[in-house]
Structure 1
Amino acid sequence: MPTPLPPNLYASGTPMHTAYSTCLAFQAQAPQLQVPLAANPTPLVCARLLGYMILHSPTSQGRANICNEIRSCNGNRDMFHDMAKFYVDRYLRSFRSTKGRTPVHSDHPSRQASFDEMQGTIRYLLDEPPKNHVEAKAAALERDGYRCMVSGTYDMRSCEKNPDIAVLAVQSGTVARETHASHIFAPSTSQDISGPDADGPKHNFAASAWAVMERTGSVLVPDELNGPDIHRLENIMTLETGVHSLFDNLKLWFEPGSGDDCL
């Protein structure tokens, strides 16, 4: 269950204070609501998801956008739920390499013209990334010293192929394990969007997902992560299998820190 939202510390009368107050109000109401057991996301998750999106937006413009969208719901619970579900499908889902069935296409609940324009622009700029990222993994391993960036565990295959790396692993006192080239923004979002279904559900989903990224974090995918650039080293971390699984399932995340303290 997501962590409860902290108190509202935004200045009274500001858009942030109003939007965040809405999230707190829906959080308080959630336990009293009668909802189906299969409801996804639940009212409590909706309130906390959108609240934390306000708190942790990477840019001031992204925070302003999400606040404006929450305020546009005018306290309507159904609209608020639809917006939260949109962000679960288009935002959180983009960080998972295994996504399941592509969600049915839906418009942004706030119906803001700027989002529609950005989605339309991105849809015609997207290229499909290559499915084989062997070279990307090799480059990331070299950059990361053939070790998991979190645990420091050495890559098992690198140790098997290179005696010098095997010696370093022994000296470090760690057991070599399998590692993965873990993408921050998953390439699967844009895979299978070309060919005869170039304007189909997956293409439309990718366009809307990347439009959300631009709107919340100023990441313009067609400029920075399009096609082969999805495998650029800035988008890849070497992680051992267990850590990779936690990261891929959104159970491990990173926060800004000072110096080498990034966890």
Structure 2
Amino acid sequence: MAGKPLPNSIDSANPAIRAAFERCRQIESFLMAEAAIDAKKVEEELMDLRVASYFLLYAPSDEGKQWAASSIMSAVEDDKQVAAFGQFIRKYYIRSFKQAKGRTPFISRHPSPSFDEAQREIVANLDQAPQNHTDAKMKALVRDNHRCMLSGAYDAQSYLGMKMHISGARVEETHCAHIFDESTNDFTTAKVVIAKKEYAANVWTIMRYMGYPDVLTELKGSSIHRLGNVLTLTATLHRVFEKLQFCLDATGNPNEYNVMAAPGVMSEFETVGLASPAKVTLSNACGLEPPSPTYLAIHAACYRIAHLSGAADWYARIDAGGDAGCNATIADESMFAIVLMDRLERLPEVVYAS
């Protein structure tokens, strides 16, 4: 069964967090006993219980952990409401960082006489916030010295356009990868009720309860393309990033991060000359805004919770089913229903009860 069992104990001085964790451990023991009889029956509930539990332990803020403890302990009359809280976190936090996203807009890869002129125009307008994906990509390239922030590979268009000739240089197509995806600006008016408390069903609700109310204002509308929300990555690393298969963990030094990757993607990291774990310092050329430590911390916490709980594998199965056109057989008809429900829930203004 996917996901890691909860540890036997935690090191926390907060009595509310300790009490909530013990409650989660008790519910997990019950569900594990049920799983020994029929694993499929409790698979999703056990995963969501672990999402709630690991969110309690690894939410990126003390306020988020306190919210988790309060939500877990408020459902005193119904253990299933603890899993319902985990499901809320899974569907509107984890899913917002792990979803099939649109391709990066195409930009011509061929050098032209206007390349230098275009670069001068970009540099002349660096003080203006990017207004769209293409603008964000071009300004991020200037900030990132025309290279992938992790592997150091030169952007192919820039390398050709600037007529670089660097011995042994790695040259690849690069993408503009958003930390918070552009789709998070699609709001829903749907509501979710957990332990008699009503929440708006979107990622911004979770950001607010985690103590990040300003993130919505910072990323609203075209501000989703601000440089603090984007990374220049090779096409390979962008694909892995949007699947929530690696994260950047802050070391405590300015703009310095450890690259933490899931074991299954090590081969893809090796193809771009990047080991894991690896330490990188994100560029900040021309005094431009670097990737936001806050956004990356929120993303890193999501990565950790998703992989420990099994939610990352769960959504990988769902996305594989979706990519296959939901061609379910009798043996996997339950997954067909889950894939269909996931797609419906991601439509604007639509929410379905579990």
Say whether the fold is shared (TM-score over 0.5). Answer: yes
Contact 2:140/2:232, CA 8 A, preserved across alignment: yes
Return closer, same or farther for 1:145/1:249 CA change in 2, 3 Å cut-off: same
The aligned residue for residue 309 of structure 2 is none
Q: Using a 3 Å threshold, how does the CA distance of structure 1 residues 158 and 219 change in structure 2: closer, same or farther? A: farther
Q: Which has the larger radius of gyration?
A: 2
The structural deviation recorded for 1:48 is 2.6
CA distance in structure 1 between the partners assigned to 2:48 and 2:209 by the alignment: 19
Corresponding residue to 1:232 among 223, 226, 236 = 226
State the distance in 2 between where 1:159 and 1:140 align. Answer: 15
Equivalent in the alignment of 2:52: 50
Q: Identity of paired residues, percent? A: 30
Offset, 1:8: 1.8
1:37 aligns with 2:50: no
Q: What residue in structure 1 maps to residue 185 of structure 2?
A: 190
Any unmatched runs of 5+ in structure 2? Answer: 103-129, 191-198, 260-354
Residue pair 1:24, 1:47 contacting (<8 A) in 2 also: no
Contact kept in structure 2, 1:26 and 1:43, CA below 8 Å: no
Matches within 5 A, 1:1-263: 1-6=2-7, 7-11=9-13, 14-34=15-35, 37=40, 42-74=44-76, 76-96=78-98, 98=100, 132-164=132-164, 167=165, 170-171=166-167, 173-191=168-186, 208-259=202-253, 260-263=256-259
Q: Which position in structure 2 is the counterpart of 1:120?
A: none
Residues 166-220 of structure 1 deviation map (CA, whole Å, 9 limit, x = unaligned):
x3xx44x3431121111111111224x6xxxxx766xxx9863211112124143
**Bigger Cα displacement from structure 2, 229-238 vs 140-149:** 140-149
- Cα pair distance change 1:31/1:235, threshold 3 Å: same
SS of 2:172's partner is: coil
Per the normalisation by structure 2, the TM-score is 0.55
Deviates further, 238-247 or 69-78: 69-78
Answer 1 or 2: which has greater strand percent.
Answer: 2
**How far apart in 2 are the matches of 1:200 and 1:248?**
26
Structure 2 Cα separation of the partners of residues 38 and 174 of structure 1: 53
**Cα shift at 1:261:** 3.9
The question of whether the paired residues in 2 share the 8 Å contact of 1:148 and 1:239 is answered with yes
Query: Structure 1: which 5+ residue stretches go unaligned?
Result: 101-129, 194-198
Q: Which amino acid aligns with 2:87?
A: K
Q: Name the Cα RMSD after superposition.
A: 3.0
- What secondary structure is seen at the aligned counterpart in 1 of 2:154? coil
Q: Deviating runs (4+, > 4 A) in structure 1?
A: none
